[in-house]
Structure formats: structure tokens, C-alpha cells
Structure 1
Amino acid sequence: MTMPDGAVAVSPRQELMPAAALFHSLSDATRLAIVQHLTGGEARVVDLTERLGLAQSTVSAHLACLRDCGLVVGRPQGRQMFYSLTHPELLDLLSAAQTLLGATGSAVALCPNFGTAGASPATGVEVRGE
């Protein structure tokens, strides 16, 4: 469908796709942990691997995802790369999420599709059939 001014009509679902992509980029616990750490300022991959106890390749892959989504940026200094958040509004989003989790008593953790109720305590991966 074409609008009178030449613009193409977009369905309400299509309008929400960028927001869905944003939330999907933040839907991984490792990426959230990286973002949370970066709220305190710049960090190198080595800082994040030590903090999170993860392999360098894992942290780098998650940083690449966050960078591709425009949420973090790398600043080279010599042979090192310092990562930081690109938009301070991300702090507001994280704060609002914490407020919402508090208001719901973290009920989202019980969600049968996305919650942590069926997750293994060691890995956070859902265990079915146990």
C-alpha cells in the first residue's frame, strides 16, 4: 500500500521490529553482563574476561554483536581496544528494567517461554524433562 505522499504504509508489527531487535540484542545474559560492566566506564576484552570468567573468544563475539547493534564502540589505544557504551540512554533502559523487575517481583523469571525457572543453576540453560 502506498500513502499519498509516496511513503509506504508500515504495519504496527513492522514498526516494532527495531525495538524487538534492540531487546533481542540485550536478551543474552553475557551481553547484559558486559553492558552492566560498561556502565562503570571503558573496559578492555581482558578486563571483561577476568570479570565474567569467560573465554576471550566468547567475550569478543558478544562485543561484536553489541557493536554491530550500535550499543558499544571500541576506541583503539596502541595495541588495545577500549570498549564503552555509545548511548547514555541505555542506562535509563537498564534502570527501567530493574524497576519493572522489582515491581513484578521478578515474575518474568517464571515465564514458561523465557524465564529461568527451568534453567540449570550452573549454566542458566533450560533443562527439559528433569
Structure 2
Amino acid sequence: MGEIVDATHLSQPNASNHLRCLSECGLVAGEQNGRRVHYRMTDPRVVTLLNIIDGILTGGPVDVEDCQNY
């Protein structure tokens, strides 16, 4: 969870709520490992899609982080 919170800048409760929703929809699955839960995407096509989107947003003529309207 900590890695997700760090990467998304969401609060821990907010990230937990999103992950619960994604889990209930079948998009992610969690595997308990002690006090930690390891989450994974259940469909590899979602990972491919996210990688494509990331490439578009960061590989274009202007990085999305530089967009004034973002």
C-alpha cells in the first residue's frame, strides 16, 4: 500500500477505498503476505493499456507534467 500511496500521492484511506473498489470489480486481486497485501492487475491487457497511455503522456512533444491546464 505504501508504494501506491507514494506513487499516487493519495491518502492511505483513499488508496484503500480505490483498491477495494477495483478489487470488487475484478480489476485487481490482493494477496495477503503478513500485514501487507500485494496487489496485481487481473488482466494483463490493462497493464499493456496503462503502459501505452504512460508512453503517450510522457513521450509526446510536451510532457503532461508541463501542461499548464493539467
TM-score range, shorter-chain basis? 0.5 to 0.7
Deviation, 1:84, is: 0.7
CA contact (8 A) 2:41 2:47 kept: no
Q: Any runs of at least 4 consecutive aligned residues in structure 1 with deviations exceeding 2 A, and if so which? A: none
Q: RMSD of the alignment, in Å?
A: 2.3
Larger radius of gyration: 1
Identity fraction in percent: 32
Whole-Å separation in 1 of the counterparts to 2:37 and 2:14: 16
Deviation, 1:73, is: 0.5
| Matched positions, count | 56
Whole-Å separation in 2 of the counterparts to 1:57 and 1:78: 19
- TM-score of the pair, normalised by structure 2: 0.66
Deviation, 1:91, is: 2.7
Match of 1:66 among 22, 32, 36: 22
**1:49 maps to which residue?**
5
**2:41 maps to which residue?**
85
Whole-Å separation in 2 of the counterparts to 1:51 and 1:91: 16
Q: 1 or 2, which has the higher strand percentage?
A: 2
AA in 1 matched with 2:42:
T
CA contact (8 A) 2:29 2:42 kept: yes
- TM-score of the pair, normalised by structure 1: 0.38
